[in-house]
Amino acid sequence: MFEYFPGNYVWNLGVVATLNSGGLIDEVDRACRPIREAAARGEDAGTTDFLRAWTTLTDSLVAQAEAAEKAGHARNAGQLYARAANYLCQAERMQSTKAPDRLETYRRVLVLQQKAFALKDPQLSRVEIPYEGTTLPAYFSQAPGAENGPAPVMIMWNGLDSTKEHMYSSAHWDELAARGISTLMVDCPGSGEALRLQGLTARVDTEAWAAACVDYLLTRDDVDPAAIGLAGWSLGGYFAPRAAAFEKRLALVVAWGANHDWGAVQRRRLQREGERPVPHYWDHVLWVWGYDSLDEFIEFADRVNLDGVVEKITVPFLIAHGAGDRQIPLEYAHRSYDQAVASPKRELRIFTAGEGATEHIGLDHLPHVSTFIADWVADTFAELSASRR
């Protein structure tokens, strides 16, 4: 993995994720160069410096975007707004839950994202998914030609610290669209806007919000009701298989990082084993799950486990994992695969150092993982369609 900040895994992961999600190396370098000394103080210290530096970059791009928009250069302006949203969102995820400007920063991300859609990607729209008396915020990417007839669709779910804006910047939706597949990018409970602005915390029984997503998609004329799949990355590698085990309207499922026993990972992190995804880690996980006590949370976290669950998956199941994942042990990918005995098509794809994408969810070579998953999804939807004829 490219390590801009020697010895600071968490900050390096943010840089690599940005560069592999549409960021430009010159812009990232200009933002990061002034904060090298801050990075050397550790993953938690200096995150306000990180936000300040990346906000300066964001401000510069927004000024350029506004000038381009005024000149009538819509595509250029949209690209600038999209990168500005990407940079600011990556900086926001690094902040403490107690940072006074965190929510305002995220609100700005939402505004910039909508400007990018309007000018660059009009096929994307914001949607609201009804969920237990409120809604789950989401972005919908309509596949080309879907307005003329129903198309397959993939639901995408976040992990512990990502947002639907990160899913957009990953461009996985664009890979799926090129294969005739729409995408619903969801801030599920415990992530993104659902957590930040609505206070919806994560839960073990993820089939509850899977049902809400499927119910919503079935109201759309541009969705094939027999071809609704689900992918979850990072902690979504628990969320998605759990949902597919119990929500039987899903046609296939992808674990983008095998989070088979997330509770055990938390106990390892208490012992400082393995790496963490974000600074201010324990404050973050308590926020995501709605706990005040670390002791109570650790006892609860043992329930975030797929033993006895993946055996109930009865649809095609892809597990994609990096051989060098420093957060989630590779053995969990094998465990999910070995236990998914009822899946009619189970596949374990391990990405190696020789090809790249060996780090957590392949962030060191994200496009490589993205295209592999998109091909597997497209092939599997085609096989399912042929079997119904």
pLDDT at 204: 98
Three-state DSSP class for residue 174: helix
pLDDT at 147: 81
CB 249 within 8 Å of CB 216: no
What is the bridge-based pairing of β-strands 134-141 and 182-186? antiparallel
Residue owning tokens 């006074």: 100
In whole angstroms, what is the distance from residue 346 CA to residue 253 CA? 10
In whole angstroms, what is the distance from residue 362 CA to residue 163 CA? 17
In whole angstroms, what is the distance from residue 10 CA to residue 196 CA? 21
pLDDT at 146: 78
In whole angstroms, what is the distance from residue 148 CA to residue 24 CA? 36
Q: Is 80 exceeded by the pLDDT of residue 275? A: yes
Q: For 16, which DSSP code? A: H
Q: Is 90 exceeded by the pLDDT of residue 273? A: no
Q: Which residues on adjacent β-strands are paired with residue 261?
A: 305
* Least confident range of 32-41, 271-280, 300-309: 271-280
- Band of residue 274 on the pLDDT scale cut at 50, 70, 90: confident
- Band of residue 158 on the pLDDT scale cut at 50, 70, 90: very high
Written as six digits, the tokens of 118 are 């309007």
What is the average per-residue pLDDT within 318-339? 97
CB 187 within 8 Å of CB 138: yes
What is the average per-residue pLDDT within 200-205? 98
Three-state DSSP class for residue 376: helix
The residue type found at 122 is P
Q: For 146, which DSSP code? A: G
In whole angstroms, what is the distance from residue 138 CA to residue 164 CA? 7
CATH architecture assignment, domain 1-122: Up-down Bundle (1.20)
In whole angstroms, what is the distance from residue 169 CA to residue 150 CA? 25
Angstrom CA distances, 116 to 136, 177, 180, stand at 21, 18, 22
pLDDT tens digits for 208-262? Answer: 999 999 999 999 999 999 999 999 999 999 999 999 999 999 999 999 999 999 9
User: Which residues make Cβ contacts (< 8 Å) with residue 116, sequence separation at least 6?
Assistant: 78, 79, 81, 82, 85
Q: Is 90 exceeded by the pLDDT of residue 148? A: no
Q: Yes or no: is domain 123-389 CATH 2.120.10.30?
A: no
The order of strands in the sheet holding 134-141 is 124-131, 134-141, 182-186, 151-157, 223-233, 252-256, 317-322, 346-351
- Band of residue 375 on the pLDDT scale cut at 50, 70, 90: very high
Q: Is 80 exceeded by the pLDDT of residue 389? A: no
The residue type found at 293 is S
In whole angstroms, what is the distance from residue 334 CA to residue 337 CA? 5
pLDDT at 179: 97
For CATH 3.40.50.1820, list the domain ranges present in the chain: 123-389
Q: Which residues on adjacent β-strands are paired with residue 320?
A: 256, 349
What is the average per-residue pLDDT within 350-372? 96
Three-state DSSP class for residue 264: helix
Residue owning tokens 């999600």: 21
For CATH 1.20.1440, list the domain ranges present in the chain: 1-122
> 3-state DSSP: the chain helix, strand, coil percent, rounded to 5?
50, 15, 35
pLDDT tens digits for 33-67? Answer: 999 999 999 999 999 999 999 999 999 999 999 99
- Percent of the chain residues topping a pLDDT of 90: 96
pLDDT at 368: 97
pLDDT at 272: 84
Three-state DSSP class for residue 158: coil
- Percent of the chain residues topping a pLDDT of 70: 100
- Give the Cβ contact number of residue 221 at 10 Å: 8
For residue 376, which of 240, 181, 233 has the smallest C-alpha distance? Answer: 181
- Band of residue 387 on the pLDDT scale cut at 50, 70, 90: very high
- Band of residue 96 on the pLDDT scale cut at 50, 70, 90: very high
What is the average per-residue pLDDT within 107-134? 97
Angstrom CA distances, 237 to 229, 306, 364, stand at 14, 10, 18
Q: Is 90 exceeded by the pLDDT of residue 380? A: yes
CB 113 within 8 Å of CB 168: yes
Q: What angle do CA 99, 101, 103 make, to 5 degrees?
A: 95
Q: Is 80 exceeded by the pLDDT of residue 283? A: yes
Q: Is 90 exceeded by the pLDDT of residue 145? A: no
pLDDT tens digits for 182-200? Answer: 999 999 999 999 999 999 9
Burial of 264: CB neighbours in 10 Å, binned 0-12, 13-18, 19+: middle
